[in-house]
Structure 1
Amino acid sequence: MLKIYNTLTRTKEEFKPIVPGEIHMYVCGPTVYNYIHIGNARSAIAFDTIRRYFEYRGYKVTYVSNFTDVDDKIINRAHEEGVEPLDLAQTYIDAFMEDTKAVGIEPATVNPRASEMIPDIIEFIQDLIAKGYAYASDGDVYFRARKAKNYGALANKNIDELEQGASQHVADAETARKEDPIDFALWKKVKPGEIYWDAPFGPGRPGWHIECSVMSTKLLGDTIDIHGGGQDLEFPHHQNEIAQSEAKTGKKFVNYWMHNGFVTVGDDQQKMSKSLGNFVTVHDIIKTVDPQVLRFFMATTQYRKPIGYTEGNLEEAKASVSRLKIAREALVFRQNGAESGVDAAMTTQLEQLEDAFVTAMDDDINVQNGLTTLFDLVKLMNEYSAQDVVKADTVAAMLAKFDAWVQIFGLTFATGLLDADVDAQIKARDAARAAKNWAESDRIRDELTAQGIILEDTAQGTRWRRA
């Protein structure tokens, strides 16, 4: 039974999709004014891993993740660089797509952008005004938070706490435009020199929260299965999404809220963030760290738990990835000369491992327990590779299971570097050794080594793997 921890109820709940066999999933994407740091990437990797597991379990997943390309940070950065805000945003959208591809994140079904949804946003706001949930004030439009049912419940906050916090953090000029300090902006009046769009309530641009409500309901429907994002989005962003979406539709907005933990750094385990200046970008780190190692490091902590970013943890991830790769290559090697048929004892053990893996992952995507089962499979693969006789169908089944599981963690060990050519060169080397042409044998070995191919001479023949 697949269970998910629902942030709204603070409990693990049996997952029941709205449409059997299908999942509609929305995950908040980046505000694109800079390269993403690995704290930002945590969310993208965590929910990509979750999505991959849903697909492994047979669900058809429609996965929507937005780009916020209209925002104060984008506008300010664009002014600093002397470029148009949407051009700056496009630069970092392109960088995001490049960097996330490098760490094995599958493209979203749709990546909507705030700037492309302006007519829909305006229409959404007009509806909220007509229903009395929103009001215009000096060119801005605000949502009446007190009118929303159970406002603050997602973050386990009450109205009095929120009012006190809002009074301390909102500028006097903005407070004067609001009916209530806890009301939040749906539309912001244009300032001199800023990008803007015309609207019935005046020229301006959308607030941050409204875009996700509009994108989610437009692309996935009034009620969706899962909404995800970082823990820092619980309040106010996701709470405000609930308020404005349910005010407009009169329906429950999201059935399951999922929030990932932070990436922390330093002895005091500070959250990694741009504001604290303690971040490292994915764009920079993958210049020196294998992207698959970074992905494995990020994907193998259960999504709700924090990740401590250290060089030592990266080294451990590197060793684990190497161990996985070597085990696969050893078993691939044994496909040559494998006997036809099935090893019944191995089939039974594979079935037991499958049950253990699914049981672990069905418990709120517990990747750490799932990883334990993956390495139990690796142990079995290594033992089978060392046997004198192996069965072809069993080798194929082990490899298929291994590949399916590591792909959930975002890894692929494709044999892309012309395996046939490598095998041909190994045969040529074997012939040279048989003829005692040691110079030619050494030349072939050195040439393969230069291409990242490591040869191991064993009793069963020459085995090779990638460095």
Structure 2
Amino acid sequence: MRSWSAPDIVPLPGSGGPLRIHDTATGRIRTTTPGSTAGMYACGITPYDAAHLGHAFTYLTFDLVNRVWRDAGHDVNYVQNTTDIDDPLLERAEATGVDWRDLAHREIDVFREDMAALSILPPTSYVGVVESVDLISELAVRIRETGAAYEVDGDLYFSVEAASKFGEISNLSREEMLDLFGQRGGDPTRADKKDPLDWLLWRAERPGEPAWDSPLGRGRPGWHIECSAIALDRLGPSFDINGGGSDLIFPHHEMGAAETRCATGQPNAHNHLHVGMVGLNGEKMSKSLGNLVFVSKLRQEGVDPAVIRLAMLDHHYRAPWEWTDAELPAATERAERWRAAVALGAGPDAAPVLAAVRAALAEDLDSPSALAAVDAWATTALTRGGTDTSAPGLVRTTVDTLLGVVL
């Protein structure tokens, strides 16, 4: 599946330091230690509707990781999926009378346009589930061959009893897991399962549903296993960062980690990064609640994508936050000040700004502190001036290359 166009990245003088991030599994800030090529996987959208700001905030976070690593001299192998076959997509297609394939293609196109407009660096591999059915069924077979899977009326389930380190990502109690599993796409009450937490690897063909031939019979993938299979194929086990929104910690990432460990004997990733939820009117922004602010709609209304990006950067990626009417005016005013400052013929020394932005982002992607460093420079430039004719250009490049904001 094709990705989207990449923005130009201008190298900065020197290089950034190692990236430290909060690892969900350990609950600690850890230094990432990639080799020459860093490996990263982010769970993509299920394309039954346009991308909202919660999605954009997640992919902005992984974009910052990408930029920090590249500034530190690493190549980055970034893989993202799109779940272009799943129950929510089929349900929306049926409800709206649209073919599920057409719906997926339409919304993936909108997503690509949104990501390009927001200067999100595209993944090295952007992979759909439909194109990965063979990979997914092969992984399900590998898991079955270990004895960790069993059938219920033709459906293949992973036995949670076979997951030796189950709970290593979420650190939840069994009661908490059962509650979330039922809320987030699981089927804890299905009869004939060995354990309510056992999850579906392969769904046997049902009348009227799309299905594919496989060694497991005709059917389609369950949830969780698509990301395990794609990540193993494109990154191998034990890559540097795996993650997505915090609502994916359980069950999605917990169960995916168990699948990888079962098939390979290794963890799927060294670090797990999760992004706080974006709310609106006191609720998490989600398709099921219908309280969405769409990136595409903001763009259609003429909002500068750089302003949308600045509004999101003003929030630390791990902290849940609320989108309010004040977000865009504040980000617009910041963009105007920055643009006015870099349009000057000269300004104060910008080397400290570059150093401060690098340091802030390297320490758990502290984008609000990075913005504050640029704010301080812009305020000084606009009120007191400066004599360094190279400073405005360096600030412009710093903001573009590290923060992804086009001035």
Percent identity, please.
34
Query: What SS does structure 1 have at the residue aligned with 2:364?
Result: coil
Q: Does 1:396 align with 2:390?
A: yes
Question: 2:210 aligned to 182, 190, 195, which one?
Answer: 195
Deviation at 1:85, TM superposition (A): 1.9
2:404 aligned with 1:410, yes or no? yes
Structure 1 position 294 matched with structure 2 position 292: no
Following TM superposition, by how much is the alpha carbon of 1:22 offset from its aligned partner in structure 2, in angstroms? Answer: 2.3
Per the TM alignment, residue 283 of structure 1 is displaced from its structure 2 partner at its CA by 1.5
Q: Do the aligned partners of residues 53 and 383 (structure 1) sit closer, same or farther apart at CA in structure 2, a change above 3 Å counting?
A: farther
C-alpha deviation, 1:162, in angstroms? 3.1
Q: Does 1:327 align with 2:321?
A: no
Which runs of structure 2 are paired with 1:224-263 in the superposition (5 Å)? 224-263=239-278
**CA gap 1:171/1:108 in 2 versus in 1, 3 angstroms:** closer
Give the SS at the match of 1:154.
Answer: coil
Match of 1:143 in 2: 158
Q: 1:165 to 1:35 in 2, by over 3 A?
A: closer
TM superposition shift of 1:165: 6.2
In the alignment, which residue of structure 1 is the partner of 2:10? none
Q: 1:276 is matched with which residue? A: 289
Residue 313 of structure 1 corresponds to 327
Distance of 1:165 and 1:83 partners within structure 2: 31
Larger Cα-atom Rg? 1
SS at match of 1:178: coil
Aligned to 2:13: none
Task: Return closer, same or farther for 1:306/1:82 CA change in 2, 3 Å cut-off.
Answer: same
Aligned partners of 1:241 and 1:265: how far apart in 2? 30
Deviation per CA, 1:158-211: give whole Å up to 9, x if none: 335435765899668x62131111100011122211110122332211012000
**For residues 283 and 119 of structure 2, what CA distance do their matches in structure 1 show?**
27
Contact 1:151 1:158 in 2 (8 A): no
Residue in 1 that maps onto 2:22? 5
Is contact 1:49-1:299 (8 Å) kept? no
SS at 1:52 equivalent = helix
TM-score (norm 1): 0.78
Name the residue aligned to 1:363. 363
Counterparts of 1:353 and 1:104, CA distance in 2: 21
Moved more, 301-310 or 352-361: 352-361
Offset, 1:378: 2.1
Unmatched 5+ stretches in structure 2: 1-17
- Tell me the alpha carbon deviations over residues 403-440 of structure 1, each in whole angstroms, 9 at most, x when there is no partner: 22344222112xxxxxxxxxxxxxxxxxxxxxxxxxxx
What's the secondary structure of 1:255's corresponding residue?
A: strand
- Measure, in 2, the Cα distance between the counterparts of 1:171 and 1:220: 30
Q: Deviations over 1:218-243 (max 9, x none)?
A: 00112210012000000000001100
Q: Deviations over 1:283-329 (max 9, x none)?
A: 11222222221111012311111232111121101100111111111
Whether contact under 8 Å (2:181, 2:187) holds in the other structure is no
- Could you tell me which of 33, 36, 40 is aligned with 2:55? 40
The one of 224, 229, 250 equivalent to 1:209 is 224
Q: Given the superposition, is the C-alpha separation of residues 167 and 228 from structure 1 closer, same or farther in structure 2, using an over 3 Å criterion?
A: closer
Distance between the aligned counterparts of 2:101 and 2:207, measured in 1? 17
Hey, what's the Cα distance between the residues in 2 that align with 1:399 and 1:15?
Answer: 30
Instruction: State the partner residue of 2:3.
Output: none
- Partner Cα separation in structure 2 for residue 219 and residue 171 of structure 1: 30
Counterpart residue number, 2:9 = none
1:285 aligns with 2:298: yes
CA distance in 1 between partners of 2:95 and 2:176 (Å): 37
For 1:325-360, what per-residue CA distance to the aligned partner results, in whole angstroms no more than 9, with x for missing partners?
1111123xx6xxxxxxxx9xx6xx444333333322
Cα pair distance change 1:53/1:96, threshold 3 Å: same
Structure 2 CA distance for aligned equivalents of residues 189 and 242 of structure 1: 23
Relative contact order, CA 8 A, sep 6+: which one is greater? 2
What stretches of structure 1 of length at least 5 have no aligned partner? 335-342, 414-467
More helix by share: 1
Shift of 1:249: 0.6
- Would you say the 8 A contact 2:19–2:69 is kept in 1? no
| 1:381 to 1:149, Cα distance in 2 relative to 1, 3 A | farther
TM-score (normalised: structure 2): 0.89
After TM superposition, the structure 1 = structure 2 runs for residues 15-164 of structure 1, keeping only pairs within 5 Å, are 15-17=32-34, 19=35, 21-159=36-174, 161-163=176-178
Contact 2:177/2:251 (CA < 8 Å) preserved in 1? no
